[in-house]
């Protein structure tokens, strides 16, 4: 099989050194392994700019959605009510989760190309005194739009609400100060901007709020509090942990630091994103979002050609060494290109050359 690089929002292209870490079958109850778990938990707190007295990290088996479901089903109690702020498929997935667990909620839903306005959130919080929690997505990977978690977090704190963020596709690629933003629970996963391989999610939690959630969980395996209690003692996971994935993730965290941390990684992603959007525009392929709300994580491109076939485009690009992503909008023909992962300016230039060829072929038919 011909190899290709991933320009998708995760799993993404990882370094060979990260992949090589997985060539070792580690014992789970061994002290060396528990130390790795504990070290990862500490490193994540550091990335989030919070200290061990106030915050803690819980690692959770499964993909990112398992982490989101763990938080929603463990933290929002029977008497509580959550305001979900949505403008894409991942926000809507939170509602699906809430329905499964019969959680009391209200929604502020915006169009996919609109950043939810903080004043609207405030109006709802003023009117509905029953609301106890606010939850939203940071980078909506559906489109690549970047939501203002800082503003919504501060408003949530002003009204003393618990604020929860799905920062799956942004944490590690965009600097987030949890405490400054008023975030009580933040969820991300191993295979996004930290550039590890898929297999677990992690939750950075305000300890006081986590302790308050004791006994509220609606599921055994996703019980966030229980997972924390088990892990916090000595780094032992409650159930089988994804050992190979953990080793790779630990390496990926060290490589993030070596790159210069989140700031340096953000710079690389942002620079690549800018080059990509500019070059595509020259080819007549415009991005779906306005520049000021576009994240450096993933870009949705419009393909306003009558005979658009994503599969045809995908196969052509793949033949030339890159895998792109389908669009997720229903009303317009789009496709997406991810920026995250071990991708450099050279890749973006290569990719745009490939697109130039593709556009030329389409025009001459």
Ligand X SMILES: *Cc1c(COP(=O)(O)O)cnc(C)c1O
**Residue with Cβ nearer ligand X (168 or 245):** 168
Query: Which residues, numbered 88-117, are part of the site for ligand X (CB under 6 A)?
Result: 90
- Least distance from ligand X to the Cβ atom of residue 267, Å: 21
Q: Using CB under 6 A as the criterion, what x/- string covers residues 48-87 for binding ligand X? A: ---------------xxx--x-------------------
Q: Which of 304, 317, 327 is nearest to 356 (CA)?
A: 317
User: Segment near ligand X (CB under 6 A), from 17-25, 162-170, 286-294, 345-353?
Assistant: 162-170
3-state class (DSSP) for residue 323: strand
Q: Is position 137 an interface residue for ligand X (rule: CB under 6 A)?
A: yes
**Residue with Cβ nearer ligand X (67 or 182):** 67
Query: Which residues, numbered 6-45, are part of the site for ligand X (CB under 6 A)?
Result: 9-10
3-state class (DSSP) for residue 15: coil
Q: HSE of 218 in the Cβ direction (CA atoms, 13 Å)?
A: 16
Query: Which residues, numbered 188-217, are part of the site for ligand X (CB under 6 A)?
Result: 189
Secondary structure letter of residue 294 according to DSSP: B
**Residues touching ligand X: how many (CB under 6 A)?**
13
User: Segment near ligand X (CB under 6 A), from 164-172, 203-211, 242-250, 282-290?
Assistant: 164-172
As a whole number of angstroms, the distance between CA 67 and CA 186 comes to 9
Determine if residue 265 is labeled as part of a ligand binding site: no
DSSP-assigned beta bridge partners for residue 338: 298
- Least distance from ligand X to the Cβ atom of residue 192, Å: 6
Q: Which two tokens stand for residue 188?
A: 């991300």
Pairs from 279-288 (Cβ < 8 Å, separation ≥ 24):
279/348, 279/349, 279/352, 279/355, 280/352, 280/355, 283/352, 283/355, 283/356, 283/359, 284/359, 285/355, 285/359, 288/113, 288/143, 288/144, 288/329, 288/332, 288/334
- Least distance from ligand X to the Cβ atom of residue 356, Å: 29
As a whole number of angstroms, the distance between CA 7 and CA 21 comes to 23
As a whole number of angstroms, the distance between CA 155 and CA 266 comes to 26
- Least distance from ligand X to the Cβ atom of residue 19, Å: 19
Residue whose CB is nearest to ligand X in the complex, by number: 64
Q: Is position 300 an interface residue for ligand X (rule: CB under 6 A)?
A: no
Q: Is position 141 an interface residue for ligand X (rule: CB under 6 A)?
A: yes
User: Segment near ligand X (CB under 6 A), from 48-56, 109-117, 163-171, 228-236?
Assistant: 163-171
As a whole number of angstroms, the distance between CA 190 and CA 251 comes to 11
Q: Is position 173 an interface residue for ligand X (rule: CB under 6 A)?
A: no
**Residue with Cβ nearer ligand X (10 or 172):** 10
**Residue with Cβ nearer ligand X (137 or 152):** 137
DSSP-assigned beta bridge partners for residue 145: 140, 294
Query: Which residues, numbered 218-257, are part of the site for ligand X (CB under 6 A)?
Result: none
**Residue with Cβ nearer ligand X (166 or 347):** 166
Whether residue 68 contacts residue 187, with contact meaning beta carbons closer than 8 Å, is answered with: yes
- Least distance from ligand X to the Cβ atom of residue 138, Å: 7
Q: Which two tokens stand for residue 95?
A: 């509602």
Whether residue 328 contacts residue 153, with contact meaning beta carbons closer than 8 Å, is answered with: no
Please report, in range form, the residues annotated as the binding site for substrate: 336
Please report, in range form, the residues annotated as the binding site: 336
Q: Which residues would be at the binding site for ligand X (CB under 6 A)?
A: 9-10, 63-65, 68, 90, 137, 141, 166, 168-169, 189
């Amino acid at each position: 099989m011909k190899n290709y690089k991933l320009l998708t929002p995760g799993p993404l292209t990882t370094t060979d050194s990260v992949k090589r870490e997985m060539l070792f079958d580690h014992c789970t109850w061994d002290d060396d392994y528990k130390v790795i778990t504990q070290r990862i938990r500490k490193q994540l707190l550091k990335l989030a700019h919070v200290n061990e007295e106030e915050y803690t990290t819980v690692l959770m088996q499964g993909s990112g959605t398992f982490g989101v479901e763990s938080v929603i089903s463990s933290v929002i109690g029977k008497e509580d009510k959550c305001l979900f702020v949505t403008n894409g498929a991942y926000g809507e997935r939170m509602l699906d989760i809430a329905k499964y667990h019969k959680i009391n909620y209200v929604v502020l839903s915006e169009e996919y190309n609109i950043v939810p306005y903080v004043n609207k959130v405030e109006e709802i919080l003023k009117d509905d005194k029953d609301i106890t929690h606010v939850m939203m997505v940071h980078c909506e990977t559906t489109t690549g739009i970047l939501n203002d978690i800082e503003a919504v977090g501060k408003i949530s704190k002003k009204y003393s609400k618990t604020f929860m963020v799905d920062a799956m596709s942004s944490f590690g690629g965009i600097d987030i100060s949890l405490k400054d933003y008023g975030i009580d629970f933040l969820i991300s996963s191993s295979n996004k901007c930290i550039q590890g391989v898929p297999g677990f999610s992690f939750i950075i939690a305000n300890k006081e709020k986590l302790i308050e959630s004791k006994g509220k969980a609606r599921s055994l395996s996703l019980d966030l509090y229980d997972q924390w209690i088990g892990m916090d003692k000595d780094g032992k996971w409650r159930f089988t942990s994804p050992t190979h994935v953990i080793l790779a993730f630990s390496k990926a965290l060290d490589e993030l630091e070596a790159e210069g941390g989140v700031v340096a990684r953000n710079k690389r992603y942002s620079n690549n994103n800018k080059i990509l959007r500019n070059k595509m525009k020259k080819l007549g392929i415009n991005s779906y979002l306005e520049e000021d709300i576009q994240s450096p994580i993933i870009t949705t491109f419009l393909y306003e050609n009558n005979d658009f076939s994503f599969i045809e485009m995908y196969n052509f690009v793949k033949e030339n060494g890159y895998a792109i992503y389908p669009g997720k909008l229903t009303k317009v023909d789009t496709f997406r290109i991810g920026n995250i992962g071990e991708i450099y300016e050279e890749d973006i230039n290569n990719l745009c050359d490939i697109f130039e060829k593709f556009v030329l072929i389409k025009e001459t038919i």
